[in-house]
Chains A and B, each alone.
Chain A
Amino acid sequence: MEKLEDLKIVAEQWWNQGIEYLQKIPPNQLYAAIGVLLFTTVLLLLSFRLVRRTKSNTVLLSGLTGSGKTVLFYQLRDGSSHQGTVTSMEPNEGTFIFHTENSKKGKIKPVHLVDVPGHSRLRPKLEEFLPQAAAIVFVVDALEFLPNCRAASEYLYDILTNANVVKKKIPVLLCCNKTDKLTAHTKEFIRKQMEKEIEKLRASRSAVSTADIANDFTIGIEGEVFSFSHCGNKVTVAEASGLNGETVQIQDFIREYIKP
């Protein structure tokens, strides 16, 4: 009990000494010191918040209906497409590390993969996910390419001219799926065909010089034939086979932008 009281007395003495010291300082300096302190704390908090906005790890799997997105989704996640798929009515979302990376040691950053349905009635769903996308994989059916070429290129054109994609320069991978089949087209062929179709679309859609209500931006360079290298964001081409599980190129692309 005595010790407590002693401590109390000592604390009081220190307190009085502190107040005396403070009172010696002219008030202006005091206010200035407090102001600087507050300012630095606020700055620190803000900078923390900025740094904390980590890069999004969302990757979108898009493409026409029947191109194999859901199969690829399950291949990337589980290494097999289980018992098959039907036309998706809703998006498939998952945050995971790739099945092939399961064996790697250490903490790998998981990828938030979203498989957006390709059916034209569900097209508005894609726009919901575009703002958060860090990369887009556009899946094309290499087997039934020519009948769907026009629809696929229109879809790709809509993606490439979307405001989010242009402003944030979201990279796009044109993935040719079903390459395990004999009559599947090569990725070079597909790339050239898509470029040709997009060129035609560019001509027909930007026929009106002023307001183009269909698309937010136009792509390509005026006067030159469209090529994917003209896009502000990076567009690359790769091959894959959903049924066989050959998804290496897709995984490399994704990991390029979402560091493990």
Chain B
Amino acid sequence: MLEQLLIFTRGGLILWTCKELGNALKGSPIDTLIRSCLLEERSGEVSFNYEAYTLKWTFHNDLGLVFVAVYQRILHLLYVDDLLNMVKESFSEVYDPKRMSYDDFEETFRQLRKEAEARGEELRKSKQVGKGLGSVKKQGQVAKSGLDGGSKQSNGESGGGSKKDDGDGDKGKVGSLMMMMTNGNHANDSDKTDDFVNGKENTTDNVVVDPSKLLKLRSKGVRGRGGVRKIDSIGNKSSKVTAVEPPKKATKKNRVWDDAAPKQVKLDFTDSVGENGNGNEEHVDIVAADQGESMMDKEEVFSSDGESEGDDDDDDEARSDEKPEAKKKGWFSSVFQSITGKANLERTDLEPALKALKERLMTKNVAEEIAEKLCESVEASLEGKKLASFTRISSTVQGAMEEALIRILTPRRSIDIMRDVHAAKEQRRPYVVVFVGVNGVGKSTNLAKVAYWLQQHKVSVMMAACDTFRSGAVEQLRTHARRLQIPIFEKGYEKDPAVVAKEAIQEATRNGSDVVLVDTAGRMQDNEPLMRALSKLINLNKPDLVLFVGEALVGNDAVDQLSKFNQKLSDLSNTGTTRLIDGILLTKFDTIDDKVGAALSMVYISGAPVMFVGCGQSYTDLKKLNVKAIVKTLLK
């Protein structure tokens, strides 16, 4: 049964809660919904899971109201979407901005609920009559469907089925990547696609990390992890199989090309050097690198002239986009409406503008699914709103999108590293930063840049060379260390990186370094053994900051990389806190002119703020992310 139904304003005041269902909700599901879903621009999604509850919501954008229904997750209530819409319609008739209490709505609500329940019963009965196939199988799925584990493909298959049920509520949204209970429902109810969907469900992995799952993991350590394990093992049988396999093939075998006897000697060119890297090499000119101020400390100067030009250009473009659309409605009526501004925005009105916006975002290298989700979220927030006078639809949509983008790119927590370093210093322990990422994104280069910046702020830095795989990695760091004159801790190649990191931190505590920067080897997100090794490093050393290094040139793969990294880190973590990616370092920013979309994709999918931006290959090329400039570039 329904646990609770709330109506509140966007400003935060609760207008009405159902007194009949007076159950107090455990925890604070509404606040969590707002903070992790609605404010994260995920309002286009179908529902939100919080502990034992599922929440569904709808907006009345014109009056600025939000309607939220909370119910137990294990129940499958088909009528909730219907009920929410009916409540929305009837409440908007009663609503008065000056009125604060709506006790008489109780009666109306009771009737509406009965109606909705009756309708839901009818729907269910009509479905049951049409069912021939395995009811046993369905029961098995009922148990499973409460758990996550779907993928875009299976959604696509069941999307055909989903359009049939809950048709009025759901509007057949296929794009949602979270396999929610309701989608599981659809898989159940559509008998034709039953087997097919089953098969698909079992063979595919999670593509996108469910943010509610992320939240759960962050807050609930063991339990969350246990839950995730179970979900993975039940939902994805194949991944369970693969989980068993890797321990067998942990080591890479050398490829044998001919019949010649394979060389068994490991090539280990580690110099027998002391810990501080002053080996038996020739004297290299130790030029203390002082190349001036790092760009982190310089003010961003961006011309405001460009802004007005940009607006004009974009008006012209938008106008030309709109004209073919406007012809359908009748040119005069649309112009009239835009002047008087009385039209309520409908989905059909918003679609062309949103589509154009989505295309524009994708040309700026934003990942396709992210652009899609963002457009859905903006649509949800604009539907039903009254157009202000003298504004076109496209400018309203643009304004809403701009706000949404600023909201996403604004960091959720403080990214003041200096403050954290000072805090760690007070506790007399070094501040540990681990750089992770796929191959070739620029971890070592940017590590040196960060070291340079910290050094400029009079913080003593130590580097730890935990990339023990790539030839030349240790020497590279050694060269940087020599130029910056900072100590480096290395143990050569073919050593366990987790152990090297641990010893480096101990050394730093001993010699009083404030910050330890740990370089790791690049690894692909699908590579199970390497991800395991990374988790081990993070679990063993408990760093203060896990920095994901991603290049700005990456396209749709950014989504996959970040979500898989996060997932592996949470799956393979042991007791206590699950550490996920805390921050993003965006590299090679100077190589993209205005295709800055990768920043948006990465921030959206992981929720981690962009802490640094690498914009060149010398020590001073490190800066902070300028949110307004990026948003302007994205929407130009």
Contacts and interface: CB of A to CB of B under 8 A. Distances in A.
Interface of A: 65-66, 70, 74, 78, 82-92, 115, 117, 119-124, 150-151, 154, 200-201, 203-205, 207-208, 210-214
A204 B416 contact: yes
A204 B298 contact: no
B160 to A, nearest CB: 35
Interface string B62-93: 00101000000000000000000000000000
Given A204-B416, A204-B422, A70 B101 contact: no
B458 A91 contact: no
B12 A87 contact: yes
Given A90-B10, A203-B422, A214-B416, 11 more contacts: A66-B31, A74-B13, A85-B12, A86-B34, A88-B12, A89-B11, A120-B412, A121-B39, A121-B408, A204-B418, A205-B416
Given A208-B297, A210-B293, A89 B34 contact: yes
Contact of A200 (B13, B66, B299, B422): B422
B624 interface: yes
Nearest to B413: A120
B128 to A, nearest CB: 38
A121 B418 contact: no
Contacts of B13: 70, 74, 82-83, 85, 92
Contact of A207 (B15, B17, B407, B418): B418
B94 interface: no
Contacts of A210: 293, 297
Contact of B300 (A89, A212, A213): A213
Nearest first, the 3 closest Cβ-Cβ pairs linking A and B are A88-B12, A92-B11, A204-B418
Contacts of B100: 78, 82
Contacts of B411: 120
A207 B101 CA distance: 53
B101 A83 contact: yes
Contacts of A211: 297-299
Given A86-B30, A92-B12, A213 B299 contact: yes
Interface of B: 6, 8, 10-17, 30-31, 34-35, 38-40, 64, 66, 100-101, 293, 297-300, 406-408, 410-414, 416, 418-419, 421-422, 456-458, 624
A88 B406 CA distance: 17
Nearest to A91: B11
A225 B30 CA distance: 42
B35 A90 contact: no
B441 to A, nearest CB: 25
Contact of A89 (B15, B39, B298, B422): B39
A121 B419 contact: no
Contacts of A119: 35, 39
Contact of A86 (B8, B300, B421): B8
A120 B410 CA distance: 8
Given A208-B297, A210-B297, A213-B300, A90 B11 contact: yes
Contacts of A214: 416
Contacts of B12: 70, 85-89, 92, 117
28 contacts: A65-B35, A70-B12, A84-B14, A85-B8, A85-B12, A85-B14, A86-B12, A86-B30, A86-B31, A86-B34, A87-B31, A87-B39, A88-B11, A89-B39, A120-B413, A122-B39, A122-B410, A150-B419, A201-B416, A204-B418, A205-B416, A208-B297, A208-B457, A210-B293, A211-B298, A213-B297, A213-B300, A214-B416
A129 to B, nearest CB: 14
B419 A200 contact: yes
A207 B457 contact: yes
Nearest to A154: B414
A84 B8 CA distance: 10
A85 to B, nearest CB: 5
A85 B411 CA distance: 24
A121 B40 CA distance: 8
B139 to A, nearest CB: 37
A242 B190 CA distance: 52
Contacts of B101: 82-83
A124 B410 contact: yes
A186 B35 CA distance: 29
A70 B6 CA distance: 17
A156 to B, nearest CB: 13
B16 A83 contact: yes
Given A201-B419, A210-B293, A90 B64 contact: yes
A208 B419 CA distance: 13
Contacts of B39: 87, 89, 119, 121-122
B354 to A, nearest CB: 21
A16 B30 CA distance: 85
